[in-house]
Amino acid sequence: MGPTGVEGFMYPNEVELQWSILIVLYPFITGLVAGAFILASLERVFNVSAVKPTYRLALLTALAFLLVAPLPLQLHLGHPERSYEMYLTPHTSSAMAMFGFVYLWYLMVVLLLEIWLDYRVEIVEFSQTARAPWRWVYRILTLGSRNISPRARRIDERVGYVITVIGIPSAFLLHGYVGFIFGSVKANAWWSTPLMPVVFLFSAMVSGIAAVMLIYMAASKVRKVAIDMRCLDTICQYLFYVFVIDFSLEMLDLIHRVYEADESFRSLDFMVHTRLWASQVVLQILVGTVTPLVLLGANQVFKFREGARKAMYAAAGCLTMVGIFAMRWNVVIGGQLFSKSYLGYTSYKLQFATREGLGASIVLMLLPFAILWALLKLLPPWLEEKEPAGI
């Protein structure tokens, strides 16, 4: 009799999964960052003025999630106190070491600079109007300059534009790299495909756009202000387009696997029809992809009333998040459930109150919202407001 949850033959080092739910969270969170930034760039670079109400919100959302993105990895490490060594002595053969620099570049050079340039006028104003001790915080953030003349603002605008232009490939690189890390594991048939970075990238855009849309809707409800329906309709239009590309790419990968039918196919096919049926076919494809696509697609064809549109967009956004999380789950967990011998399957038992359990994952998923709340208080993104809320 084999170990519990094992069916058929597994090599000894395959029975227990090494990459847990925390490694599912890592691509999920970085995807939200990349997607939120792409949404912000729609307004800045591609002049889609309809989405302007979400521009700053998208930037702050990207920052809040980016700050949390490395934490699941740190919690997964046996010796997190050594992780900084990756920056000191990086090796080009280590995808994670290179990813560390991509992460730092994106955080320090792209996101923080763009937010600073965009908020500089408010920062200078708040440094004079806010009460202590927040006034000191804003004074530090001004970096000693109070010049917000129209010419200085034009220069900020131009520099910000250049940073966003650099930021778009950086955001692509950030999440493409996450897909690359999985796609380059040639020993794993479930992961090893050059399509992986592209699929990850488009699914990141889908999840990030959906997340900012839901946060915008929730924030409007909490603030008791009307949702800008032109903005919401435009976001959902782009969400639909990107989702169609993402779904097409995933189906292309699936068709390619079915047609190629290499030596791993029977094993992977069996896995999809048994252990991954609920999470892949039901949650990811039917509930998390086809249903939101139908909801979003219907809005491109028919004209619904405002209330119905809001409900359909909210439902589509929530289901999209479920679908993209399920996609990350199926990639990370699914890739470890089958044996390299293709003769057996193992199980993943999710625990709760452990270092890599569900409890830690829930805390990690709530943390970006707490950071976002603090950022929204410090740097209110609402265009009509001029006073920092609660300060």
Partner 1 sequence: MSSRLKDAAHLIPLVLVVLAGVAVFLLFRQVLVPKTFGQYGHYRAAALDDIRVRPVSFAGQATCAMCHDEVATTRSKGKHRGVSCEACHGPLAKHADDPAAMKPKKLAGTGLCQGCHKADKAKPAYFPQVVPAEHSGGAECLSCHQPHSPQMQ
Q: What residues line the site for partner 1 (CB under 8 A)? A: 9, 11, 85, 87-89, 91, 108-109, 113, 116, 120, 143-145, 147, 149, 151-152, 155, 159, 341, 343
Nearer to partner 1, 152 or 214 (CB): 152
Omega cis (within 30) before 80: no
Residue 360: Cβ within 10 Å count: 22
Give min distance, CB of 315 to partner 1, in A: 43
Is 9 or 136 the residue whose CB approaches partner 1 more closely? 9
Q: Kindly state the smallest distance separating residue 141's Cβ from partner 1, in Å.
A: 11
The CB-of-117 to partner 1 minimum distance in angstroms stands at 8
Which of 95, 24, 36 minimizes the C-alpha distance to 65?
36
Q: Quick one: 143 or 187, whose CB is closer to partner 1?
A: 143
Work out the angle at residue 85's Cα, subtended by the Cα atoms of residues 79 and 88, and round it to the nearest 5 degrees. Answer: 175
User: Least Å distance between CB 89 and partner 1?
Assistant: 6
Output the smallest distance, CB 92 to partner 1, in A: 9
CB nearer to partner 1: pick between 147 and 248:
147
Tell me if 166 sits within 8 A of 174, measured CB to CB.
no
Nearer Cβ to partner 1, position 152 or 244?
152
Nearer to partner 1, 155 or 261 (CB): 155
Instruction: Work out how close the CB of 144 gets to partner 1 at its nearest, in angstroms, rounded to a whole number.
Output: 5
**Shortest gap between Cβ of 132 and partner 1 (angstroms)?**
22
- Which residue, 14 or 250, is less far from partner 1 as judged by CB? 14
Q: How far is CA 275 from CA 43, 49, 83, 279, 345, in A?
A: 42, 45, 34, 8, 9
